[in-house]
Structure 1
């Protein structure tokens, strides 16, 4: 029961930090034709989640730390609902081409950066383990 509570608190703390970071990015990237703050947060979050995942294959942290960084921080930082709303807004108020480009850049860039992060984290942790 104690471990479960620590895990939940870690997820909550990570989620709060992630949400605050997302808000800060959106504050400094006001709408300028495209919702760049959401795009940047989702790209960075995908990169971080890939990096953590690759790293944790070789370096297994305490469960609360793993959950706090992945489910909490990355989950609170990235946002599917804002992506969906931004795409809808572009479709309704701008044009279909702009909305489509944003959606492709968001999804394609997110997957690409998650893959890059995973490779970097995997290799960095593996090299650290082999050096020991």
Structure 2
């Protein structure tokens, strides 16, 4: 039950954060920001939690809930169709390339950062900075 509650709370927070960004930045720019930063955060969390074991409800609440509620595949699909109707195929292709490859690159960067953060914390705990 803790896992379900953590995912629900994380998802609500992620969805509210996504909504807030969409109010500040017009689509598709907001969607790019959400998906790339969400991929970065998920990369950090994944690497960190691989090294620093933590409670399952926390891992699920932040990863599945928060990051899942914050990033959005449905808006990516909608923005792609909308851009195809209103702009050119080149604009759609550029949007998809930035979103997909940007997300992957930032997930890797986040993963490496999360790895380093976990290692630093382990070294501090062991007193071997």
TM-score by length of 2: 0.94
Residue 124 of structure 1, CA deviation: 1.3
Equivalent residue for 1:28? 24
Partner of 1:16: 12
Aligned to 1:65: 58
Per the alignment, residue 82 of structure 1 pairs with 75
**1:16-57: CA deviation from partner (whole Å, max 9, x where unpaired):** 0000000000000124xxx11111000110000000001111
TM-fit CA distance, 1:77: 0.1
The alpha carbon displacement at 1:91 in A equals 1.0
Is 1:96 aligned to 2:95, yes or no?
no
For residues 102 and 60 of structure 1, the distance between their equivalents in structure 2, rounded to whole angstroms, comes to: 36
Structure 1 alignment gaps of length 5 or more: none
Aligned residues: 125
RMSD value over aligned CA atoms? 0.8
Deviation at 1:127, TM superposition (A): 2.3
2:35 aligned residue (34, 42, 59) = 42
**CA positional deviation for 1:104:** 0.2
Where 2:26 maps in the other structure, the secondary structure is coil
Q: For residue 6 of structure 1, what is the aligned residue in structure 2?
A: 2
| Distance of 1:25 and 1:61 partners within structure 2 | 29
Query: How many angstroms does 1:93 deviate by?
Result: 1.2
Shift >3 Å, 4+ stretches = none
